[in-house]
Chains A and B, each alone.
Chain A
Amino acid sequence: MTIRSDRDHGQRYRPRMSCLKKLEATVVQMQDPSTGVKGTDQKLNITTIPHVITGQDIVAWITKNVNIDNDEAQAFGTMLVAFGYIYPLQDHKKLVLRPDGSLYRFQTPYFWPVQKWKAEDTDYAIYLAKRNIRKKGVLHAYEQEEYNKLHKWMNHKWDFIVMQAKEQYQFQSLSKADRVVFDCQERAYWIVHRPPPQTHSAMDYGLDRHIDRNAEEKKTYDYYRRIIIYTQQAVMRSRVKSSVSLGALAKYITTFKNHDPFLVPCLPSNPWHTDDNSYWELNAPDVEIPTKMSVERWSFSFYELLNDPRGRADFKIFLKKEFSGENLAFWEAAEELKWGTAASMSEKAEQIFKTFLAPGAPRWINIDGRTMGLTVKGLEHPHRYVLDAAQTHIFMLMKKDTFYRYLKSPVYKEIQKKAISPAPHNFSEAQLQQNMRNRRPSINPIITWQKEQEEKAKAAAAAGPVDIKKLMASKLDRK
């Protein structure tokens, strides 16, 4: 018989095959003589094929034992056929489960798909050669093509292949019935692993993985050391009780429930349903009057408020009234530093120091002495995260104090009153058709981003300290 070598394709191995283990467990159950699927003998020409089962029996057994409904049972059964655990006797090229009287048989475990190795090309070549020897011209067109291809690549091994094929062909100790059965099984195996063209193959899994999952990791000193260090850290870490974290999860979901377009229809209408862009227009970042839903969302958390550009703008208005705009300005400047280009970093850092941190700076922020000391020291050699400590401090300050005052302020109450609640659309069939025809592309985000950058530059120039001399000079000039 063929020597089956343990595959080694440069240590690559197959993904997505771990479901095979689960399927095998079910298949073994199905073959149980007392509780499994009932089989009968089927006469085929002059031979009798034992243990034949019908499609509908399979579906019925699956429905009962796996406890699912008919459609799912059929899909499950088709998977068993597609993977090669059960093979059809009639119409053997189509690997689906037909829930009627179509006949199937269980594949012998020798031919089961296994997670560890692929069906080798050498074996396929031997199989095709064997069939060729038995009767010339019995190969299908696609098989003939494959055979020719293999003959070309494996030319150096061809003698070996032909010899193996001849040996297998001459190995006749099986009775005629057994031989017919074996031929069916072998054919089914190769239909699964070398599918005919234009069919889906369940064994098609995409690209190989790098590391062999089946290899046991060597239990070296390093392995144990790693486990020990990790477990020690994990034990020392404080953990929150499940009730707290689950409660927080449930709370988040409930809070956002009305804002989730999948759970609650959005106003005025979902653009994907009606092809009407009003929803997107009403929620654009630069819109004058926000919607009630947006305004409500700002109150959920400080993070939500800052994330929505319209919300942030409103918050700025509030801060201006309170004369405490420097906190948000500092926070925004720190964000710019974090995500900006490396070239601009030292310039930005200097700017930030002059504007926010230097003693007597025009927009001096109020942070504790220690953080101030660390930040100023770090600014001598500015890097992306140099303002992290200060930024977190300011963020917490705004979140714990300013945010709540904002929610209670007249500015917020006013915007809540002004916010619009658009009426739900009620399009007729004809109008929907019209909308579909009028679908227009959106403004490219690149253009939006460029506009934003320009506006930011203008704002920065406007917010800079005013040069009194120049101003007076220009006034005098006019005289």
Chain B
Amino acid sequence: MGEMEQMKKEAEALKTQIEAARKAAHDTDMASAASGVAPAPRVQLKTRRTLKGHLAKIYAMHWCTDNRLMVSASQDGKLLIWDSHTGNKVNAVPLKSSWVMTCAYAPSGNLVASGGLDNMCTVYNLKTPVIKTVKELDAHTGYLSCARFLSDTEVLTASGDTTCALWDLETGKQKTVFLNHVGDCMCLSLSPDMNSFVSGACDSLAKLWDIRDGQCKQTFLGHTSDINAISFYPGGNAIITGSDDCTCKMYDLRADQELITYQDAALNSGVTSLALSMSGRLIFAGYDDFNCNIWDSLKGEKVGVLSGHDNRVSCTGVPPDGMCVCTGSWDSFLKIWN
């Protein structure tokens, strides 16, 4: 018992120390640093396309690097690949398990992946006229909440069993397992230089991992509930997280602390998904109250709303060239706004 008490005291002392260090480094806040920048204009976006084709709730979507194709996953058991500009469906991939929670497009455009309550990440090859399963990555003991391709040979997954894993697609085995979270991992985001990634989990922590050595490099505290969405800032030095506690926060990696919180007294529903515009100025956050709010990342103010969905916005995405934003919802429609 005495040992426990000692450890508790040590932990408390260290916590105070780090609070003090962080406070000392926090010599200015966002408002003053951003005072020189002109406020963002009021953003009013119109729906340019409504993609109809799914028959049940859409849980995830992901843009391809060519800025036109995208893949979406719905609980009707299908992955649909759309040419968003014409609105045509290019491909439909039937899934073995309809409880899908995530989908991903490979940067080369050759592969797509899906995963969900089946605890597996299934990778499909789009090159052949009949779409075939390349591999079923099966080693997680919890549902698959997010998957992202690093290349045609490596996939990163986040799972409800509190781990993230890096898989080798040729052998189908896990190369590295990232262990540190104590709650379900809900989302992940790759850094622009592909050397690290961040994951958000139900323990309200966001963690930065080094892909090469599998270690957790930094942990970001501040949220009071599950982190549902996470994204790297385009420059690679900051991350934005969205949580069930109805707020989004921006953390800086080099300063190792929270810089700004995007919250509003009137917002009483959790954030389900996040996407950033290509300069990083605008944050598109999808909420449980059927809307997607647009935040000015520097000033911390709401500058617009995308309303048009009849149910929760479950996923948002901005293509690499930043030309538009796509929102997918439980009402089974995907809308493209600009």
Contact = CB atoms under 8 A, between A and B. Distances in A.
Contacts of A17: 244
Contact of B280 (A72, A207, A211, A252): A252
A235 B311 contact: no
A82 B67 CA distance: 38
B139 interface: no
A221 B3 contact: yes
Nearest to B325: A262
B53 interface: no
A202 B273 CA distance: 18
Contacts of B67: 280
Contacts of B14: 227-228, 231-232, 235
A79 B21 contact: no
A174 interface: no
Nearest to B244: A18
Q: Which of B183, B193, B254, B256 has the most CB of A within 10 A?
A: B254
A256 B279 contact: yes
B49, B109, B117: most-surrounded residue (chain A CB, <10 A):
B109
B130 interface: no
B43 interface: yes
A459 interface: no
B138 interface: no
Given A75-B289, A243-B28, A445-B65, A249 B48 contact: no
Give the secondary structure class of A's interface: helix
Given A22-B246, A224-B4, A237-B218, A246 B268 contact: no
B183 to A, nearest CB: 5
Contacts of B311: 200
Interface in B294-316: 297-298, 310-311, 314
A339 B101 CA distance: 27
Contact of B237 (A67, A245, A449): A245
A200 B329 CA distance: 13
Contacts of A441: 83, 85-86, 88, 90
A435 B215 CA distance: 52
A272 B14 CA distance: 53
Interface in A428-458: 439-442, 444-446, 448-449
Contact of A228 (B10, B33, B87, B162): B10
A50 interface: no
Contact of A249 (B212, B224, B238, B322): B238
A72 B311 CA distance: 17
Interface stretch (A340-348, A398-406, A415-423): A340-348
A260 B34 CA distance: 18
B52 interface: no
Interface residues of A, number: 84
A260 B279 contact: yes
Contacts of A240: 25, 252, 254-255
Contacts of B126: 446
Contacts of B150: 339
B281 interface: yes
Contact of A252 (B26, B225, B234): B234
Contacts of B321: 261, 283
A234 B256 contact: yes
A209 interface: yes
B203 to A, nearest CB: 8
Contact of B108 (A228, A250, A260, A445): A445
B279 A252 contact: yes
Nearest to A73: B266
B83 A449 contact: no
Interface in B56-74: 57, 59, 64-69
A342 B168 CA distance: 9
B10 A263 contact: no
A91 B269 CA distance: 25
A228 B255 contact: no
Nearest to A82: B289
A139 interface: no
Nearest to B226: A15
25 contacts: A19-B288, A76-B266, A207-B99, A207-B143, A213-B183, A221-B4, A224-B8, A227-B15, A232-B14, A235-B17, A242-B25, A242-B26, A249-B237, A256-B278, A266-B323, A272-B48, A272-B49, A277-B85, A339-B150, A339-B151, A340-B153, A342-B168, A442-B66, A449-B109, A449-B110
The 10 closest A-B pairs by CB, nearest first: A445-B109, A246-B33, A256-B279, A231-B14, A260-B279, A339-B151, A224-B7, A240-B254, A18-B225, A272-B338
Given A19-B244, A249-B237, A260-B322, 6 more contacts: A15-B270, A18-B246, A209-B160, A235-B18, A261-B321, A342-B153
Interface of B: 3-4, 7-8, 10-11, 14-15, 17-18, 21-22, 25-30, 33-34, 36-37, 40-41, 43, 45, 48-49, 57, 59, 64-69, 83, 85-88, 90, 99, 101, 108-110, 117, 126-127, 142-143, 150-154, 160-162, 168, 170-171, 182-184, 192-193, 202-203, 212, 218-219, 224-226, 228, 233-235, 237-238, 244-246, 252, 254-257, 259, 265-266, 268-270, 277-282, 288-289, 297-298, 310-311, 314, 321-324, 330, 336, 338
